[in-house]
Structure 1
Amino acid sequence: MVLQAPSLMPKTIGFVVAGGHSERMGRDKALLPWAGTTLLEHALARLRAVCGEVQILAGAEARYTGHGAVVQLDIVRDAGPLGGVHAGLLSLDVALGVFLGVDTPLVPSALLGALLAQAEGFDAVVPVVGGWPEPLCAVYRATCLDAVQRRLEAGDRKMTSFWPDVRVRAMEEDELAAFGDPEEMFQNLNTPEDYLRRQG
């Protein structure tokens, strides 16, 4: 696969999705140490490698200031990750947004660039591993906003609920394998055990 250099990509905004409550972790996972920094800073750095601007989707609580990124709060409360994506799309003043969960530190920036490179002609580009999509490591076009808004207004909080209404490009495992082991790249750090295992 031939990728565009980041400088040739359409203007994009990168969003770190960090609005969760970290209940299973027992502490704010975004601020956990990782590779000499924090999970939040690690996510921001990977997005900065492919995006001209980065923002933080912080959920309902004003937090994470001082990281050199605009912090966006959910407009629709208690809507889970879809509420975060909605907030990001509302603030999107360019064509494309790259969304990355703060708890997926093994996703390489090269993969984020590859998702962007596949966005032409689609509203969303999403990795799929073992038949399961990874909707918080994805590119969403501003054209997704109306579909997301309709689903939220209907009370449907499922991350993939709006996909039937937009053009989705699935990036399958054979394509993902160019960037690492697909089974490993998207592992979430949800519990202290997950965190310690990946740290080790």
Structure 2
Amino acid sequence: MIHGILLAGGRSSRMGTDKALLPVEGKPLIRHICENMLTLCENVTVVVSSLQEYRYAEALAAGPHSRIRFAEDMFPGKGPLAGIHAGLSAMPDEGYGFVMACDMPYLSPALFRTMAGRLDGQADAVLCAGQPFHAFYHKRATRAAEAFLMQEKLRLQAFYEALHAVYVTPDDSGCFENLNTPAEYEAYARKQRGGRSN
């Protein structure tokens, strides 16, 4: 069973508004991503800061909410590594979590399946070089994440390079696109109007 983990606890400072609530294909981006993840994952845990759950619960209310739950950062303000830690901690059993960020509008089913084919229980992570998201992490990586957070070592690259990781060559690098700024969001919206579909 694959659990989805969506990191949505950021401040969206460069966008100037909450990225997770930007409209994408007629729905909030967070719902768009969750629905895509649920085509491949058993459920999705959305990792949030303490005040975000209520906003996002409303945004997700029209979707498949029975398979979506929330988890709060246990290390507030410590960035995406804290989100990975919270998401893995919230998994109900051992196994792998598939981690996305809430500003990644594309999910590649083909790459997901290629990566899932490398989940042998031995690897702590399965990912593409230089890409900490659209990636799989085993629940036991929670311990390493906590150790890094306790030492204030917050760089994701240092974290995943300390794991026993398997690297996969992506067949579609478009799935690593981020919507961090208004210009990036506008470029994405133009592509959508031009007919690209997920």
Cα distance in 2 for partners of 1:42, 1:113 equals 20
Return the offset for 1:58: 1.2
Secondary structure of 1:21's counterpart equals: coil
Is residue 2:164 matched to residue 1:167?
A: yes
Matched, 1:125 2:129: no
Once the two structures are TM-superposed, the CA of residue 164 in structure 1 deviates from its matched residue by 4.2
Structure 1 pair 141–170 and aligned structure 2 pair: CA distance change class (3 A): same
Work out the percentage of aligned pairs sharing the same amino acid: 28
2: CA distance, partners of 1:140 / 1:28: 26
CA RMSD of aligned residues (A): 1.5
Q: What per-residue deviation string (whole Å, max 9, x for no partner) do you get for residues 121-145 of structure 1?
A: 31101112xxxx1102210001101
**Residues 96-175 of structure 1: matches in 2 within 5 Å?**
96-120=96-120, 121-128=122-129, 133-172=130-169
**Quick check: 1:46–1:109 contact (8 Å CA) kept in 2?**
no
Counterpart-to-counterpart distance in 2, 1:34 and 1:57: 20
1:190 aligned counterpart, secondary structure: coil
Q: Is the CA contact 2:8–2:48 (under 8 Å) kept in the aligned structure 1?
A: yes
Change (3 A) 1:60 1:160: farther
Deviations along 1:75-132, whole A, 9 cap, x unmatched? 011110001001011111231101011111123233223322212131101112xxxx
Secondary structure of 2:99's aligned partner:
strand
Task: Verify: 1:198 aligned to 2:195, yes or no.
Answer: no
TM-score by length of 1: 0.84
Aligned pair count reads 179
Q: Give unmatched runs, 5+ long, in structure 2.
A: 191-198
Counterpart of 2:18 in structure 1 is 28
Cα pair 2:9 2:52 within 8 Å, conserved = no
Is 1:88 paired with 2:87?
A: yes
For residues 154 and 198 of structure 1, what CA distance do their matches in structure 2 show? 37
Aligned equivalents of 2:13 and 2:153: distance in 1?
Answer: 22
